[in-house]
Amino acid sequence: MLSVSLPGFNKGDTLHLQTLKTQRQAYFPRQFFDVWGPAENESARDQKIVVHGPAGMQLRAAQRGGWTISHATTGGAETFTATLAEHHAEFPGTATVDASDYSPIFEVSSFPSWAAVGAAYWSTARPRRR
């Protein structure tokens, strides 16, 4: 367990955390796909995600669970901003297929459909040995 003590930070104070992820190598050639969001069993407040990409990629964005999405194109760059005001932890039943079935998610993709994402993953699969 890691314990961090911040000087001048008291109980009830607000702490803002910022993380940066830079992806320079595409998992799929000339394509992009990523998903963000808190797990369904974690509470979250004031989350903000900003995605910058070249306008030529024709990125698309989608959400589930209360994200507010804005989109802007400036010059040759596209920017998607997603904000999640508040998410209260939920504890779905044991029959849940996956945690992401209930989690609030924000996704950005250059793929035109989920079928295209699946086809890209299958194209990287190795044939099964017999």
Position 68 scores a pLDDT of: 92
CB 36 within 8 A of CB 18: no
SS3 at position 119: helix
For the chain, domain boundaries? 33-89+98-123
Asked if residue 34 lies in contact with residue 50, where contact means CB atoms within 8 angstroms, the answer is: no
Q: Is the pTM of this model over 0.85?
A: no
- pLDDT 10s per residue in the chain (130 long)? 566 677 777 888 777 666 667 766 767 777 888 888 877 777 777 888 899 888 888 899 999 888 999 999 999 999 999 998 887 777 666 666 666 666 788 899 999 888 988 888 888 877 776 6
Q: What pLDDT is attached to residue 95?
A: 61
